[in-house]
Amino acid sequence: MNTCPDYSITALVRPQTHPNRYSEFGKDLRIIEIDLADTASLKEFLFTNEFDTILHIGALRGGRKFPKETYLRSNVYSTGQMVEYCLAKEARLIYCSSVGVFGAIPQELPAGPETEKNPDNYYHYTKIESERIVNRAILNGLKASIIRPSIAYGEGDFGFPYQLVKLVDKYMFPLINRPIWIHLCHIDALVKAFVYLATNEWKSGLTLTIADREPVRLQALVDFISRQLHNKNYPGVLTFDRIFFAWGEKLARMLKNELWISRFELISKSWFYDVTAYYDIMEREGIKPHFTIPEFEITIKDYQKH
């Protein structure tokens, strides 16, 4: 958010971003094309403008085919530039990290404030390093908070939740033959966290893990998707022994394919988080919690639309 007289909000987008992705915001939003990896241009832009609050939600997501140097500049160095600006201008920083700081699969469940960080892939490493930059600056007077969302689902996203629906629809999703609990995040839960932090006072250093109110059993979610699409539960013949997933993960590790390593882990091991701090705030604000079933219907309908 800036103090430019003509705009209340300035949004940075990647160069060549299609206008359809932000046209619904109207003319009150100032759009600036800057590649976060171009830290020199980012710094010049920041220090030639005035902002009271920065919401840092930009990053290269995991599994993309970019050099490590590009990940480092986009995810870590850009955070350093925003921290430097906020310290110099006494602006607030709301930094969007990820539950990935605990690794794809946390070493303890539910993962909470004291859970050990685990840089099990380079994307997660960049998020851990960025959090360190923010937290060190907080000790020097930075007013900042950190948000750690889980994997989000909602309209217009084609990541893990959308692909899950697609594979269930085509009877191509392999279920493991043991109980697995996963913890997704309705996009509105994440939006509410940003809105709260942008419009309220809070103690610097506040860190919130954002996900639905409770984790959901993967089998129950897959059956829910199947009933919505085919009016019946998912076929039991598509349930496989854990050895199938162990060998798949092993092969992905041999090939050093971080994306496929994560994919095998996410559907064969449990991952869920302590979201108490976030929902304590939401309860005080009178905001209802989100539950994956039945609200995952938003992604199912989005899949059917496309």
| 243-302 pLDDT tens trace | 999 999 999 999 888 888 888 999 999 999 999 999 999 999 999 999 999 999 999 999
**Which of 212, 203, 231, 194 lies closest to 271, judged by CA?**
212
**Which of 263, 103, 91, 251 lies closest to 167, judged by CA?**
263
17: in domain: no
Considering just the CA atoms, what is the radius of gyration of the chain in Å?
Answer: 20
287: in domain: yes
Which range of residues forms the domain containing residue 198?
A: 34-154+182-215+271-292
8: in domain: no
Angstrom distance (rounded) from CA 4 to CA 50: 7
90: in domain: yes
Angstrom distance (rounded) from CA 113 to CA 101: 11
The predicted-structure confidence for 60-116, as pLDDT tens digits, reads as follows 887 677 889 999 999 999 999 999 999 999 999 999 999 999 999 999 999 999 999
306: in domain: no
The H-or-E segment that residue 9 falls in is: strand 9-13
pLDDT of residue 23: 80
Contact 299, 154 (CB under 8 A): yes
Q: Is the peptide bond before 294 cis (omega within 30 degrees of 0)?
A: yes
The predicted-structure confidence for 263-278, as pLDDT tens digits, reads as follows 899 999 999 999 999 9
pLDDT of residue 103: 95
pLDDT of residue 105: 96
- In our burial notation (b when 16+ CB lie closer than 10 A, e otherwise), range 217-226 reads ebbebbbbbb
How are the residues of the chain apportioned to helix, strand and coil, as percentages rounded to the nearest 5?
A: 45, 15, 40
Whether the pLDDT of residue 132 is over 50: the answer is: yes
Percent of the chain with pLDDT over 90: 84
pLDDT of residue 1: 54
Number of domains in the chain: 1
Average pLDDT, the chain: 93
pTM of the complete model: 0.92
CATH number reported for the structural domain that contains residue 75 in this entry: 3.40.50.720
197: in domain: yes
Whether the pLDDT of residue 224 is over 80: the answer is: yes
Contact 87, 71 (CB under 8 A): no
Angstrom distance (rounded) from CA 203 to CA 195: 16
**Which of 179, 211, 176 lies closest to 282, judged by CA?**
211
The predicted-structure confidence for 41-55, as pLDDT tens digits, reads as follows 999 999 999 999 999
The predicted-structure confidence for 133-165, as pLDDT tens digits, reads as follows 999 999 999 999 999 999 999 998 999 999 999
264: in domain: no
> Largest alpha-carbon pair distance within the chain?
62
86: in domain: yes
